[in-house]
Amino acid sequence: AMTEVHGWEETNEVELDAWLIDNGYSKKDKGKVKPQKGEMWRAPVEILGHYCGLDAAATRLLDLELARIAAKFPEMIHLYEREFMTCAKLFNEQFWAGLYVSIDALKSWIYELEQNIQQLVTTISNDTEAKPYVSEFNQEVINQLLAKEPAEFSAKTGKPMVAYTKWKAKLELAKTTNHFNFNSKPQVRWLFYERLFSLSEAEPKIGWDGMPVRKFNKSTQKYYEIWECSIMKGDEPICKVEGNKYPGKDPTFSIDKKILPRLGLAGQMLFLYNECVKKLGYATTVLTEARNAERKYVPLGSVPVSLKIHGAVTGRSSGGGYVGSSYNCQQQNKDRLYMEAFVAPPGHSIIQ
């Protein structure tokens, strides 16, 4: 703004940067020497004071320039002076007050969810169709352990080996443990797409333009195609499923919540299992946040209402955690028991 808007010949950083570099407060970045701005407090008052003065002057001039431009748009002035600032005030008040929660209600709901999850795992594992394949998976884990059996006695001393004792204990534990992880997508795909059901030959999905549908993955910066196939029970198609195919790789087909209820009793139970796990995640996040004794700015027993003004181009706010928190107050589960855990703080009432 100093050079491009105000037309100054140079910014207020030139003198300060030179002092920092000359006095050894610098670092190399891509072969260039740059000042360490975090050390500017060490600069003498005649240099730091001049820097701060120019900074304040440039800010005031920019404010006057923006006010001149904004005068042409009275609706925008109204938006920021009335709507925006009111919204900012409310957001700040909400953050500091927080949402009060009943710790006991959350604990009770978490206990109920954990019991439901355990019961669903047992039901799926003992399902008439799924049980042989869960047993097959568990046996494979045991076989892998058997293949790694160490020597029982030392070849030199003839004494029992500690490694063998540990392996033996691990093996006995493995024989009584269910190793199938219903949270593992690869294991779930193996159970449903390679054992309980099968997939027909996959083909690329064709779009309106007659070409394969392609999408872009921002995280990997790669394009991939959408492929589709049918889930088969013997020779009978159950439903269609879509998957992603990256160049040089086979397509991967997921099992989403729309498909699971159509995949027999095991699929229906896994659908309910996933819902319980999702709810448990919400509950444990809120409980952890409400019991965060290290937090100093929101009352204990409450969760912060952390919102970002104009988080989307439409103008709506966006939810999101602050530093050290993953709680998002705008993405909450609608289960009645969960919602009832949010209560009025002592001395207050909730008006519906």
pLDDT at 213 over 90: yes
Task: Output the pLDDT for position 267.
Answer: 94
Q: What are phi and psi of 214, to 5 degrees?
A: -120, 145
- How sure is the predictor about 322, in pLDDT bands with cuts at 50, 70 and 90? low
pTM, rounded to two decimals: 0.72
Task: Output the pLDDT for position 290.
Answer: 86
In three-state secondary structure terms, 233 is: strand
pLDDT at 251 over 90: yes
pLDDT at 106 over 90: yes
Chain mean pLDDT for the chain: 90
pLDDT at 99 over 70: yes
Q: Give the angle subtended at the CA of 284 by the CAs of 180 and 123, to the nearest 5°.
A: 30
- How sure is the predictor about 324, in pLDDT bands with cuts at 50, 70 and 90? low
Whole-angstrom CA distances from 77 to 65, 73, 83, 88, 145 are: 14, 7, 10, 15, 71
- How sure is the predictor about 302, in pLDDT bands with cuts at 50, 70 and 90? confident
How, if at all, do strands 318-319 and 222-233 pair? unpaired
Task: Output the pLDDT for position 295.
Answer: 66
179-192 pLDDT tens trace? 999 999 999 999 99
**DSSP string computed for 179-213:** ---TT-HHHHHIIIIIII-EE---EEPB-TTSSB-
Please state, for a pLDDT cut of 90, what percent of the chain lies above it. Answer: 65
32-79 pLDDT tens trace? 899 999 999 999 999 999 999 999 999 999 999 988 998 999 888 888
Please state, for a pLDDT cut of 70, what percent of the chain lies above it. Answer: 97
